């Protein structure tokens, strides 16, 4: 060890030299959350995002339990999804135009009141139309994932690498909340009382949104609308890709449920589907620390991975099917991160939340189509052959990319 020599009077003093430790290199996520305000708005974001995976199953369990009709429960939730597809882009446009706090809080209050009205209508045995009207009111729920991504984009506009990490984190958060949400909802509705899932989800949504919007320092500035700046025109080519991706998600879920039910393993459905979401969550976090890949490369990997559950189901082995679903889930996160980054790149400045919401709406439309189609195929062909549908949907997305937009949509993610 180096020493320092000093002379004090007639005494020679030899002392150890001070040791300067090099600061440890921070990982990409530690650097990401070192920005002021990011931890606070992320905490609110996660609280408000968890109910997105709770509302649907909570409504189904509550309505079916009290009214004894899964047909009515399914029709009510389908109506809410259709209303969301119509209302969400308008809510997002207002958020971009007037600011997140100014629009998201009253929009959330309307959605929460809709949830409370649904509970009251079910409890009071009100006419069926009140259930449809109440649940349709929840369509004003703001796209919290889009608003969070808009904040990251504003904060990291000069750092493409950090922006890629942030988008990967957001995708992992999506998967985590959609994985935990149904589990929490099912537990509350069965262990407590049928309305517990809906009421808890509404409380979490309102609390999380208030925490999120209170972080005004990280809120992106509003911008005046410009003529011809509608994001629909610029993101339309990408929406054609998001539709088959949604179809892939919807058909995979319904087919997996049918596959497990056919084996008498319905109780394991939640665990197996959670495994797929867990794979996507982990892959999203890992992808955030890697160099972004092209959308073409991600879709090629996704197309290959989506064929694995089909092959595994044909063997009749549950462990192989679980492993195949895990690998399929791991292929989805990089694809969604890269595709969402392309939405960022082509959306006009100041309209990011609306562009993101249009993408989510396209995914929801695909999920609805995929669920309905897979259900029909299961009834007609059994629970194994329909696994070809998610594989075909992923391949269709790849073919759309290669044939329609070979250059524009295949680049790596960039900060808009």
State pLDDT tens for residues 293-341. Answer: 788 899 999 999 999 999 998 888 888 998 999 999 889 888 988 888 8
The stretch 406-412 carries a mean pLDDT of: 44
Q: Helix or strand or coil: residue 7?
A: strand
With respect to residue 397, please indicate whether it lies within any of the assigned structural domains: yes
Element housing 255 (H / E):
helix 231-262
DSSP string across 228-239: T--HHHHHHHHH
Confidence of residue 414 (pLDDT cuts 50, 70, 90): very low
Confidence of residue 413 (pLDDT cuts 50, 70, 90): very low
Task: Tell which wins on pLDDT, 244 or 60.
Answer: 244
pLDDT of residue 278: 82
What percent of the chain stands above pLDDT 90? 25
- Examine the domain organization and report whether 255 and 345 are in the same domain: yes
With respect to residue 22, please indicate whether it lies within any of the assigned structural domains: no
Evaluate if residue 257 carries a pLDDT over 80.
Answer: no
Tokens linked to 181 = 């949400």
- Examine the domain organization and report whether 211 and 348 are in the same domain: no
Evaluate if residue 8 carries a pLDDT over 80.
Answer: no
- Examine the domain organization and report whether 192 and 215 are in the same domain: yes
Query: Which of 222, 243, 274 marks a domain boundary?
Result: 222
Q: Domain range for residue 93?
A: 39-222
CA-CA distance, 358 to 345, in Å (whole number)?
A: 14
Q: What is the CATH number of the domain that holds 216?
A: 1.20.1250.20
With respect to residue 195, please indicate whether it lies within any of the assigned structural domains: yes
Alpha carbon dihedral 356, 358, 359, 364, in 10-degree steps, equals 130
- Examine the domain organization and report whether 360 and 414 are in the same domain: yes
Evaluate if residue 19 carries a pLDDT over 60.
Answer: no
The stretch 26-45 carries a mean pLDDT of: 87
Whole-model pTM: value is: 0.74
With respect to residue 91, please indicate whether it lies within any of the assigned structural domains: yes
Evaluate if residue 110 carries a pLDDT over 50.
Answer: yes
- Examine the domain organization and report whether 133 and 263 are in the same domain: no
With respect to residue 12, please indicate whether it lies within any of the assigned structural domains: no
- Examine the domain organization and report whether 391 and 360 are in the same domain: yes
- Examine the domain organization and report whether 274 and 329 are in the same domain: yes
pLDDT of residue 416: 37
Element housing 34 (H / E):
none
- Examine the domain organization and report whether 44 and 142 are in the same domain: yes
Domain count across the chain: 2
pLDDT digits (tens, 9 = 90+) for 167-217: 888 888 887 887 778 778 878 887 888 899 899 999 999 999 999 999 988
With respect to residue 277, please indicate whether it lies within any of the assigned structural domains: yes
- Examine the domain organization and report whether 193 and 318 are in the same domain: no
- Examine the domain organization and report whether 247 and 211 are in the same domain: no
- Examine the domain organization and report whether 346 and 393 are in the same domain: yes
- Examine the domain organization and report whether 216 and 236 are in the same domain: no
pLDDT of residue 267: 62
Tokens linked to 232 = 């629909």
Query: Which of 199, 222, 245 marks a domain boundary?
Result: 222
Closest-CA residue to 307 (of 394, 245, 377, 397): 394
Question: What are the backbone angles phi and psi of residue 136, rounded to the nearest 5°?
Answer: -65, -30
Confidence of residue 261 (pLDDT cuts 50, 70, 90): confident
With respect to residue 29, please indicate whether it lies within any of the assigned structural domains: no
Task: Report the alpha-carbon angle 400-403-408, nearest 5.
Answer: 85
Q: Helix or strand or coil: residue 5?
A: strand
Query: Which of 196, 222, 248 marks a domain boundary?
Result: 222
Q: Tally Cβ neighbours within 10 Å of residue 271.
A: 13
Closest-CA residue to 151 (of 203, 188, 94, 96): 96
CA-CA distance, 110 to 106, in Å (whole number)?
A: 6
Confidence of residue 343 (pLDDT cuts 50, 70, 90): confident
């Amino acid at each position: 060890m180096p020493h320092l020599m000093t002379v004090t009077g007639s005494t020679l003093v030899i002392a150890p030299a001070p040791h300067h430790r090099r600061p440890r290199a921070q990982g990409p996520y530690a650097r990401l959350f070192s920005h002021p305000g990011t931890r606070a708005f992320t905490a609110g974001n996660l609280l408000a995002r968890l109910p997105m995976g709770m509302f649907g199953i909570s409504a189904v369990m509550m309505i079916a339990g009290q009214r004894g009709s899964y047909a009515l429960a399914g029709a009510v939730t389908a109506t809410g999804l259709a209303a969301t597809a119509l209302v969400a882009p308008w809510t997002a446009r207002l958020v971009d135009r007037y600011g997140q706090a100014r629009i998201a809080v009253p929009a959330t209050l309307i959605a929460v009141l809709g949830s409370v009205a649904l509970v009251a209508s079910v409890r009071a045995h009100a006419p069926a139309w009140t259930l449809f009207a109440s649940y349709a009111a929840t369509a004003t729920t703001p796209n919290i994932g889009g608003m969070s991504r808009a904040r990251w984009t504003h904060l990291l506009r000069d750092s493409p690498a950090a922006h890629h990490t942030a988008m990967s984190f957001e995708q992992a958060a999506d998967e985590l909340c959609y994985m935990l949400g149904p589990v929490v909802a099912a537990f509350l509705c069965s262990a407590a009382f049928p309305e517990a899932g809906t009421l808890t989800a509404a409380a979490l949504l309102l609390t999380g949104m208030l925490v999120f919007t209170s972080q005004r320092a990280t809120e992106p500035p509003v911008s005046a609308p410009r003529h011809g700046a509608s994001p629909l025109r610029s993101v339309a080519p990408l929406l054609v890709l998001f539709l088959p991706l949604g179809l892939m998600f919807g058909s995979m879920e319904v087919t997996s449920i049918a596959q497990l039910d056919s084996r008498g393993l319905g109780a394991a459905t939640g665990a197996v589907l959670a495994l797929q979401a867990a794979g996507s969550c982990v892959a999203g976090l890992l992808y955030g620390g890697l160099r972004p890949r092209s959308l073409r490369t991600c879709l090629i990997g996704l197309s290959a991975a989506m064929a694995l559950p089909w092959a595994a189901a044909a063997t009749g082995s549950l462990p192989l099917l679980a492993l195949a679903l895990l690998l399929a889930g791991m292929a989805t996160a990089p694809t969604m991160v890269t595709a969402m980054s392309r939405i960022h790149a082509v959306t006009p400045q100041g309209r990011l939340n609306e562009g993101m919401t249009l993408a989510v709406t396209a995914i929801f439309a695909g999920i609805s189509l995929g669920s309905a189609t897979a259900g029909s195929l299961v009834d007609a062909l059994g629970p194994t052959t329909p696994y070809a549908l998610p594989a075909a949907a992923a391949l269709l997305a790849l073919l759309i990319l290669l044939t329609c937009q070979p250059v524009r949509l295949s680049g790596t993610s960039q900060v808009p």
